[in-house]
Amino acid sequence: MSGPAERIQEMLRDFEEQAAKATQLQSAVQDMRGTASSEDRSVTVSVAPSGAVLDLQLAPNAVRKQAHELQQQIMDAIRRATANAADQMNEAVAPVLGDRFAQFQEAFSAQTSVLKPGEDQPPRPRTSAADEDEDFGNGSLLR
C-alpha cells in the first residue's frame, strides 16, 4: 500500500501530464481554420473551430449573382468550412483525450451544431414579448 508521499507524487505526475496535454492541444487549435469555397470559387469562407466566421472572400463574379444565389453560396460555404474545422478539431483532440474523446465530441457538438445544406436554422425560442425587441428595454442593461 502506498503512503501519502507516493500518492502526492502520483497526483503531481498526473497533473503535469494533463497540463502537457492541454498545452499540446492549445498549440494544435490556436491556428486551426476550416475553409471552403463555392464550386465556381466566387465565395471562400474561413471559420474557427467554434464556427465563428474569420474571413469571407468574394471574387468579382460573385457580385454579378442574384442576391439569393449569393446568399445560398455563402451559407453553404460557411456550413462546409465549419464541418471542415470540426473534422480538424476531432483529429487534434482524439489522441490527446483518448477515452474521454466521446464526451468531448458530445459537448463540442452541442456548442457548434452544424446544419446540413438545405436545412433551415431552427427558430430562436421566444420567452416573452420583450424578446422580440433586441434592445434591453426600460433603459436597463439587465433583464
Report yes or no on 5 lying in a domain.
no
Report yes or no on 95 lying in a domain.
yes
Report yes or no on 28 lying in a domain.
no
**Domain span holding position 85:** 33-114
- Grouping H, G, I as helix, E, B as strand and the rest as coil, residue 117 is coil
Q: Which residues of the chain have pLDDT under 70?
A: 1, 108, 110-143
Inter-residue contact 54 to 46 (CB < 8 Å): yes
Give the distance from CA 61 to its chain's centroid. Answer: 29
Report yes or no on 89 lying in a domain.
yes
CATH number at residue 68: 3.30.1310
Report yes or no on 127 lying in a domain.
no
pLDDT (0 to 100) of residue 121 = 47
Q: Which of 49, 110, 41 is nearest to 82 (CA)?
A: 49
Q: Which of 82, 17, 10, 11 is nearest to 45 (CA)?
A: 82
Q: How many domains does the chain have?
A: 1
pLDDT (0 to 100) of residue 45 = 97
Report yes or no on 128 lying in a domain.
no
pLDDT (0 to 100) of residue 95 = 79
Report yes or no on 101 lying in a domain.
yes
Residues 6+ apart with CB under 8 A from 120: none
Inter-residue contact 54 to 61 (CB < 8 Å): no
pLDDT (0 to 100) of residue 113 = 56
